[in-house]
Structure 1
């Protein structure tokens, strides 16, 4: 039997394929055992060992119902099979909550809430955002990503680490993120030093190799600049 297609407005959440493989191996199950349980216990007659391996190999992403069923078979939570949640819907699924639960917490009807889930970015009011963050136990990085501010933050951070004039960026990051100004200053200074240290590690190489190595190190650091920022913030507050 063919696998039913996902609804156009219901793509699968980000799937952590290595985690699925680890959970299955820890239980001593083969793909055929997972497929059988999906068929017998979760009403998925189209589940086959090949489908399970396709999920684990990253060739296919399970839909939300499939992910929930797979978590049941692997004796874990859906959140443990999801990569980093970014959208409202992904955060809800990661916490194994029904839409009705989150809607009730926000004081919204189900249909208005589901309309909010359709958006790629959360556009609720400050009050709703605070309520949502508390109910879903969202961290500040989660809220920044959920509200669509992460790329703006990344752009500011890339500017800050590649210049000696960081004060304009400190002010702009302060406007974007509710953190202490001194913490942001310290964090941007640390990121700048780390970025320069990455580039300095290749000075002993020959010119051609060093140039290419510097470019690659710089690109890699800037690509992960938001992660570096939050890691540095966490160290500064611990």
Structure 2
């Protein structure tokens, strides 16, 4: 029978796992599930790993925990990042980079326990200097940096206000969250403002009902952060 998770009280759910990548890497090495399982047992001290568990991972029935992911990557001669989907959380970005939590904590100037609490809660509480160090050690893009430091909702609020009112008043507040060149930020916020006003005015100009234009405007605001990064990407490499 396939064992989905080890009976370990400290078990934590793993990052988004790319089952297809795991199967493809194993096949490229000419290994069977039994070889992978043996390698994880012998080299990484995971005695419960069986061929059935490896197959379950590759079929998406189960996902490896953080230690299992590291071991699996080692057996497959790959980096953990090659076995991950797009990382979203602070822990997932760290795992994707293959950096130990002790190294991140040291780089940002936090004790390990405090850093791990932030990973567990998903609530980044470091100061600006520590946030900059975090972005550096994990090589975070600006959108990822905003996401893992828990600033997406605040950014969305500011962008919605910029789009619906006087955008010039939001250049500095947005810059505190997403440190972009002032000229670039002014262009992006002006574009968002004009696009939103265009959504609101289009249906009325065609003689349609106001409810249609309002629905179009609401949909634009719901995706305002995506529109923001798309506009940034057109002007810089930050959104890449």
TM-score higher than 0.5: yes
Matches within 5 A, 1:88-167: 88-154=90-156
Q: Which residue of the partner structure matches residue 81 of structure 1?
A: 83
SS at match of 2:15: coil
What RMSD, in angstroms, separates the aligned Cα atoms of the two structures? 3.9
SS at match of 2:174: helix
Q: Which residue of the partner structure matches residue 174 of structure 2?
A: 173
State TM-score, norm by structure 2. 0.71
Q: Which runs of 5+ in 1 are unaligned?
A: 199-210
Per-residue deviation, residues 69-114 of structure 1 (Å, max 9, x unmatched):
0101111111222233333322222222222222222333333333
Per-residue deviation, residues 2-31 of structure 1 (Å, max 9, x unmatched):
541454673212222232233223323333
Q: Which residue of the partner structure matches residue 231 of structure 2?
A: 232
User: Structure 2: how far apart are the matches of 1:122 and 1:6?
Assistant: 27
Q: Which residue of the partner structure matches residue 26 of structure 2?
A: 24
In structure 2, relative to structure 1, the CA distance for the partners of 1:224 and 1:149 (3 Å cut) is same
The question of whether the paired residues in 1 share the 8 Å contact of 2:16 and 2:84 is answered with yes
User: Structure 2: how far apart are the matches of 1:73 and 1:104?
Assistant: 28
User: Structure 2: how far apart are the matches of 1:7 and 1:144?
Assistant: 32
SS at match of 1:46: coil
Q: Which runs of 5+ in 2 are unaligned?
A: 200-211
User: Structure 2: how far apart are the matches of 1:234 and 1:34?
Assistant: 41
User: Structure 1: how far apart are the matches of 2:42 and 2:221?
Assistant: 48
Post-superposition offset of 1:47: 1.9
User: Structure 1: how far apart are the matches of 2:192 and 2:78?
Assistant: 37
Q: Which residue of the partner structure matches residue 58 of structure 2?
A: 56
User: Structure 1: how far apart are the matches of 2:10 and 2:45?
Assistant: 22
In structure 2, relative to structure 1, the CA distance for the partners of 1:160 and 1:127 (3 Å cut) is closer
User: Structure 2: how far apart are the matches of 1:59 and 1:88?
Assistant: 25
User: Structure 2: how far apart are the matches of 1:130 and 1:152?
Assistant: 18
Count of residue pairs brought into register by the alignment: 227
